[in-house]
Structure 1
Amino acid sequence: MIAIGSDHGGYDLKESIKKYFNEKGIEYKDFGTFSNESVDYPDFALKVAEAVAGGECDRGILLCGTGVGISIAANKVPGIRAAHVSDVFSARYSKEHNNANVLCMGGRVVGPGLAIMIVDEWLNAKFQGGRHQKRLDKITDIEKKYSK
């Protein structure tokens, strides 16, 4: 199951992605927001990141105006590798090389058509392991060092 969440700046794009999920039969859980009314993106980043880190959901998608703030907030949760993406190539490699478990995009930066292509590419990409796992292990070591 995919966790999805946004602030007001990513709300419309979140709704477009949910429509795509519904058409494809992809299971998701919407963690909000549920309107265009102004809210604080860290609140929704935390909900989705905790759902992914805790195993409630397999991976997550977060959206705000630019995708930057919500990705920074999500990456504060241990075990989260949130990738801020605005192109298909980066989406694929964020999964294949970085095993990104949260995809972040900006509703004011990425249009719905491109967002669907990005989501599709990211969902279908597979982590390659090997030399990339060694690098992820180093990231985990940094996380452990500063999570005291």
Structure 2
Amino acid sequence: MTDAVKYLEDMNVGDHAAFGHYPVTREEVIGFASKFDPQAFHLDDAAAAKTYFGRLSASGWHTCAMTMRMMVENLTVGGHAGLGSPGVDQIRWLKPVYPGDTLRVETVVTEVRPSRSKPDIGSVHSDITVFNQNDEPVMTMKSIGLVRRRPA
């Protein structure tokens, strides 16, 4: 990414980015789960050992939050004309995320579309894959972002 702000016109189908380095800690897994997803396999070692996960695992929603953190940090490197998101079309949790894992993100732009009703913005659709330290995909997401168009 360059030091210039990235507008809708700077984005193309097929653009690929790889970024992020997020160490998953036990304290954060338990803290997030305690507040937002208090299921036993996110909170207690003994309970988690009796489940499919086999040990304490991060909430899928926590994985989304860690991914968002890496995405925002990546967007602020050179500047970005992002305006948030109207949502995601799909999220899939493919493998458990465990304390001790380190996550990273890869994105591929699948669609760039100027808005028909708001000429100063557009949308960018991306396929997002989150990997653990073993390069195993742990989550995929189809994301939609709103982005400003380059000022005239």
TM-score (norm: length of structure 2): 0.25
In terms of Rg, which structure is larger?
A: 2
TM-score (norm: length of structure 1): 0.25
Structure having the larger proportion of residues in strand:
2
Structure having the larger proportion of residues in helix:
1
